[in-house]
Structure 1
Amino acid sequence: MDRVFKLKYLEQLIGVVDHLNLRLGIVHGDSCPWNLLVDAETDNIQLFDFNCAARLGWEGDEENRLEFRYEPDRNDVKFVIFTVYELITREFCFRREFYPHELDESEVMSKKTWAKHREAKLDRPVAEYRRVLTEWVKRRAQTNKSVDHFTKASEPLSWPPLQVEPFMAWDQSPLKKRGRMRSTMSAPGQELPKMGTPGDGVFAACRG
């Protein structure tokens, strides 16, 4: 993100994640700087690329060989922490060197200072971003206890499973392919679930 990363963008991102997790019961699972856009007309941040998204706490189904099930190590709070840290410091070493289950958000949250990169553009001091982020993390530590499954969300979103196409094995017995990314299914024109935009106008998402 070459433009100014405004404090309001962080507040909007937090609002989007809360809307997804707590209201819809959906986990994005891949928040990062390159999955953020800014609408030039509204000056609102947008989160996209829902190929790793899943229903909160969902264990998957056997029909799709448990593909697209919820992975706790991809929780959105942790990924937002790393996203903000990367936007400010331009240090991407954590995600380059570690898998999601190896990432520990305390490693960046416990740092006394976040050194702003010379090319990073902010409209407030780094301390303000850290304050907003820290307060949100504390709030989510409480709400996560009450909303730990998509069925406990206030308006859980219906999330249809991916369609599975049959194919024939060498002995002509019917088999099924494993689940596929929705992005690869959009070309044939298949009907896929899409998420609309909440009233605040800062959420834009389409899985695929």
Structure 2
Amino acid sequence: MRTGPEVAARVAAEQLRALPGDPEPLACDIDWAGPVERELPDEQAVQAACGIMHVHGRAAGRPRRLGVDYAGTLAGVLAAQGVLAASLARARGARLTSVRTSVAEAALLSVQQYLAVATTDDDWVETWQAGGRPPFTSRDGVRFELEVLHAEGWLRFWAELGADSGAVADGWWPFQQRFATAAANLPEPLHRALREVDYRTVASVAAFTGV
């Protein structure tokens, strides 16, 4: 494998070493910008130029950098997948000698659903507000997330914790849409209800209500 951005190259190498046997010897190029016509010398520049800071910052109301090498890690995974795909193609007779990707292309792939919504020409208006996004925090300081796919479980969970019913109703839509919008402005009474109990209680209630 040829050298590229350090994190991406390391991730790709780790992915390929974990496979049984040895993949076909192929040149694998990973750079920062690829076909993106911008000077992108590092992870921070890629996150800023390719929309990751914008999406991650929605909950705060301003662009925010992800505190990990997210785009670089994705690029490493893509590179490993490219090597595997090319190896399979060569086994079937294709004449391939190299694969390539970039950290910027990986970053754009990661925000594709948000790009699609932002550039559609239909009448749909996506609504969201900054603030209040999980993770939640329990009384004993445990940070955690909830997952529930049906309103009945959502209602039962909060009812068991004695949360305000109006806040429960208002919080369902932004919670349900948080992956689509990258924001979840949940009413403060919901956060407060969880701050007033230990995580052990939260986990017990969640198990009981199917959350």
Q: What TM-score range do you get, normalising by the shorter chain?
A: under 0.3
Give me the TM-score of the superposition, normalised by structure 2.
0.28
Q: Kindly indicate whether structure 1 or structure 2 has the higher relative contact order, using CA contacts under 8 Å at least 6 residues apart.
A: 1
Q: TM-score, normalised to structure 1's length?
A: 0.28
Give the structure with higher Rg (CA): 2
